[in-house]
Amino acid sequence: MKERHFEKRLPLTQDQIAYFCMEMGLTSAMPTYNGGLGVLAGDTLKSLADLRVPTVGLSLLYKHGYFEQHVDENGVQTSTAEEWDPHEFLQPLQATVTVQLEGRTVTVGVWEYSLKGYSDFEVPIYFLDTDLEENDPEARQITDHLYAGDDYHRFKQEVILGIGGIRMLDALGCHNITNYHMNEGHSSLLTVELLKYIYDEDKDMDENLHELRDRCIFTTHTTVPAAHDRFEKSMVESALGEGYIPRRMYEMSADEEERLNMTHLAMNFSRFINGVAKKHRDVSLEMFPQYDIEAITNGIHVNTWVGDHMRELFSYHIPGWENEPSMLRNALRLPRNELWNAHQAQKQQLIEYIREVNGTELNVDTFTIGFGRRMTLYKRPSFIFENLERLLKIHNEIGHMQFVFSGKAHPDEQQSQELIEELYSYMEKLGDRMSVVFLEDYSMEIAHHMISGVDLWLNNPRVPKEASGTSGMKAALNGIPSLSTLDGWWLEGCVEEKTGWGIEPQTETEHESLYNKLEYVIIPKYYQHRDEYQEIMRNAIAINGAYFHTDRMVKEYLVRAYFD
């Protein structure tokens, strides 16, 4: 796509994109994100800035973040509030708007984060905040924590994001927005508020709804039905008042129990709907057969996720790659010894980081497997340990392994927390026979150390539960191949024995596939045929790193969704 040139600061007269998301992962030090959704939002906005696309971002300001994770010697997770000072990163603005909740007025303030792209083009990101003196104590707590509280608290947060977000854009003078991009259903109430702004009394409801659809884009990011928010009609009316949502919009978006389905609300009033990988599109079409759903596969922001030593290597051999990541296809010509040296340097950085924060001493020459992501049942973090006898046989007879794990479990999900306890139980059983490390309080910083420093990235979600996944893309950018079940992005990125390895479909032999790949292919290549392993590392960069990035992804949105 030909580069579009705009001024360094977003002109309010230029057609704009408004990008809404409940969480935003912009930097590890700003706890305004939980996991993949927020980090993807941050990466997307960074590429929009790099590509000089007029955009504004909208999210909520969580004064106490998601939570700070602590894990004891038995794997029991406890959580505390994350303390941070928004003034270190954000500028409070004078603008305020009001939203009616439960018959009372809630004042919403706003903070601005100025995101600078590769060429200093700026994209403002606005974080909405109810912790204002004008509000009562209950209202001040609406934006306290990310993904906390009961359904009613969640709904009030979504009111602030969707309704408050539209009103705040108006208050800030953003009057030329042509695309409102909703990421998940959390912000779908913006459709209701936007209709009120654009409603033309000289047109009938059908024509007005057509105008609304023409402005809205929706991306679904999950395959899990329970992740699609539904709110009781009584709750919606208690919060917003009876009749705030036009009857027709409500009826079109309600389920059989008259609950407001936020995903349906977004889908019904969007001109473009997409899943985040080709397989995810297919799964979404099965879940929502009444809608046209496209696929735009996720990516990562290369300048955020490349390790320091790989960056230096790429810049020397592939000048210009930072501005045009597709040039990484030329990584096929990287000298293998230089690639290996850069990898080992990043691995040493990971080992030193682990020593510093965890006290465990790992060996830089030992094959290291990484697993870092949200702790939830379908991701199966302890899958590789379910046959310890076989795993130890491989370890002792084929080649030594060591493991690095990290991930948070939602404080209200006991089953997810038990997954961490299960990992610790396996760690205790292994004792000193194999090194296994769990890094607590998973963050963008920890993820960066892991995806740039391990030798193999492990991912074994239950098929077809993984919408996309992006951690394996980050690893590939750093020359680290994946071993993963064939789901999400990996169905598109896996070229067997070229970019990594697939775990056979979910059957009783699934474990055998995992162990066989380690025993007969992967570990022998690493220890005995290092040149072959290095070739796969080069392929991971040249094939996956050169394609699965947010510059490519954003260009697809520009052509297919925003300016089609």
Q: What pLDDT does 15 receive?
A: 66
Range of the domain at 309: 303-548
pLDDT tens digits, one per residue of 468-524: 999 999 999 999 999 999 999 999 999 999 999 999 876 667 889 999 999 999 999
Q: What pLDDT does 14 receive?
A: 63
Q: What pLDDT does 4 receive?
A: 34
Q: Identify the CA nearest to 295 among candidates 541, 35, 18, 557.
A: 557
pLDDT tens digits, one per residue of 409-443: 999 999 999 999 999 999 999 999 999 999 999 99
> What's the CA gap between 547 and 495, in Å, rounded?
14
Look at residue 10 and tell me whether its pLDDT is greater than 70. no
146 and 282 assigned to the same domain = yes
Q: What pLDDT does 221 receive?
A: 95
Look at residue 207 and tell me whether its pLDDT is greater than 90. yes
Q: What pLDDT does 508 receive?
A: 66
Look at residue 7 and tell me whether its pLDDT is greater than 70. no
pLDDT tens digits, one per residue of 131-146: 999 999 999 999 999 9
Task: Tell me, yes or no, whether 1 lies in a domain.
Answer: no
pLDDT tens digits, one per residue of 155-201: 999 999 999 999 999 999 999 999 999 999 999 999 999 999 999 89
Task: Tell me, yes or no, whether 255 lies in a domain.
Answer: yes
255 and 282 assigned to the same domain = yes
235 and 107 assigned to the same domain = yes
Q: Identify the CA nearest to 253 among candidates 237, 264, 267, 240.
A: 264
122 and 55 assigned to the same domain = yes
170 and 128 assigned to the same domain = yes
269 and 122 assigned to the same domain = yes
Task: Tell me, yes or no, whether 10 lies in a domain.
Answer: no
Question: Cβ atoms within 10 A of the Cβ of 390, count?
Answer: 16
CATH of the domain at 311: 3.40.50.2000
427 and 439 assigned to the same domain = yes
273 and 322 assigned to the same domain = no
Full-model pTM: 0.95
β-strand partners of 357: none
Task: Tell me, yes or no, whether 4 lies in a domain.
Answer: no
Q: What pLDDT does 226 receive?
A: 74
Task: Tell me, yes or no, whether 223 lies in a domain.
Answer: yes
89 and 200 assigned to the same domain = yes
Kind plus residue range of the DSSP H or E element containing 230: strand 230-231
Q: Per-residue confidence at 90, pLDDT binned at 50, 70, 90?
A: very high
> What's the CA gap between 123 and 109, in Å, rounded?
19
pLDDT tens digits, one per residue of 292-332: 999 999 999 999 999 999 999 999 999 999 999 999 999 99
Mean pLDDT rounded to a whole number for the chain: 95
Q: Is 330 left (phi over 0), alpha (psi -120 to 50) or beta?
A: alpha
Domains: count for the chain: 2
258 and 382 assigned to the same domain = no
352 and 277 assigned to the same domain = no
**CA-atom Rg of the chain in angstroms:** 24
Task: Tell me, yes or no, whether 362 lies in a domain.
Answer: yes
347 and 276 assigned to the same domain = no
> What's the CA gap between 465 and 457, in Å, rounded?
18
Mean pLDDT of 375-380: 94
Q: What pLDDT does 1 receive?
A: 30
Q: Per-residue confidence at 11, pLDDT binned at 50, 70, 90?
A: very low
Task: Tell me, yes or no, whether 9 lies in a domain.
Answer: no
Mean pLDDT of 356-378: 97
Task: Tell me, yes or no, whether 5 lies in a domain.
Answer: no
